[in-house]
Amino acid sequence: MPDLTVIYLTANRMPSRWMAFHLSHLLSATSGLPIVSVSKRQIDIGRNLVDDTNAFSNWNVYVQLLRGAKIAKTPFVAVAEDDTLYTSDHFREFRPPIDAVAYNRARWSVFAWDPIFCMRQRRGNFAMIAPKEYLIDALEERMAKHPDPPPEGICGEIGRKQVEVSLGVTVRNAVDFYSRIPIVNLCHDSGLGFTPNRKKAHGQMQAYDVPYWGKAVDIAREYNDG
């Protein structure tokens, strides 16, 4: 019996061509695993919860993640976001201890406006796997401390000390892992935190073509031609 539920988060804002491409990879990578999807519009993916708020914000991502985690039946949950490409390795190779969340640091970023792979050494919510109860406790503490959403600038990943100190909540444990095949996060202009004319910087390690995923330009095209 699977020990992990995938919580798929989407605001249904991505282009249709990208969504078809993304979901083909997601459903292949999660084959045999239960999925809870949280979306702005009803979708036929796993057990679907509709996000009926008007918020498009980092804080709302965690509100919806908590909703999904609470109905998961497995001891672990993994986040899947609609701008990240996953492999089976990511969901199956590693489980954190019961008192820590984990982030897959084996991940490429691809820039839609400048198609290139790069390594950006930063933990991201889209790469998190967590013990369900530990995650629920952390998110419920945040919501209790902030019944009204705090400023966007102080919201962020579980286990990031500067974020949790700013929020006035318990600093949670976090560990890193590296899947055999990296996942791919798309940097694009539909995402949270995107500011026109202020692009994210490339990482130090860059490539145009990588094993398994192929050419960055082909991945970016799925979004740009969507």
pLDDT of 40-87, one tens digit each? Answer: 999 999 999 999 998 889 999 999 999 999 999 999 999 999 999 999
Mean pLDDT of the chain: 93
User: Would you say residue 196 has pLDDT above 60?
Assistant: no
Give the mean pLDDT of 128-133.
Answer: 98
Dihedral (CA of 117, 123, 128, 129) sign: positive
What is the structure's pLDDT at 187?
A: 92
In a domain, 170, yes or no: yes
Lowest mean pLDDT among 85-94, 153-162, 213-222: 153-162
In a domain, 219, yes or no: no
Give the mean pLDDT of 131-149.
Answer: 97
User: Would you say residue 202 has pLDDT above 70?
Assistant: yes
What is the structure's pLDDT at 136?
A: 98
Cβ proximity of 61 and 9 under 8 Å:
yes
User: Would you say residue 178 has pLDDT above 60?
Assistant: yes
- Can you give the residue range of the structural domain that contains 152? 4-106+123-181
* Residue 132's CATH number: 3.90.550.10
Helix (H) or strand (E) holding 174: strand 174-177
173 pLDDT tier (thresholds 50, 70, 90): very high
In a domain, 9, yes or no: yes
Cα–Cα distance measured from residue 176 to residue 28, given in angstroms and rounded to the nearest whole number: 24
> By percentage, how much of the chain surpasses pLDDT 90?
83
- What single letter denotes the amino acid at residue 13? R
163 pLDDT tier (thresholds 50, 70, 90): very high
In a domain, 80, yes or no: yes
Cα–Cα distance measured from residue 220 to residue 115, given in angstroms and rounded to the nearest whole number: 6
In a domain, 210, yes or no: no
What is the structure's pLDDT at 54?
A: 84
Lowest mean pLDDT among 23-32, 95-104, 120-129: 120-129
Q: Please give the C-alpha separations between residue 91 and each of 12, 87, 218, in angstroms, as whole numbers.
A: 23, 7, 24
Helices (H) and strands (E) in the chain, counts: 6, 14
200 pLDDT tier (thresholds 50, 70, 90): low
- What single letter denotes the amino acid at residue 95? R
Give the mean pLDDT of 94-121.
Answer: 94
Count up the domains in the chain and report the number: 1
Cα–Cα distance measured from residue 207 to residue 209, given in angstroms and rounded to the nearest whole number: 6
In a domain, 218, yes or no: no
In a domain, 102, yes or no: yes
In a domain, 50, yes or no: yes
What is the structure's pLDDT at 204?
A: 75
What residues have CB less than 8 Å from 96, skipping those under 6 apart?
76, 102, 129, 130, 131, 175, 177
Lowest mean pLDDT among 12-21, 157-166, 189-198: 189-198
What is the structure's pLDDT at 198?
A: 52
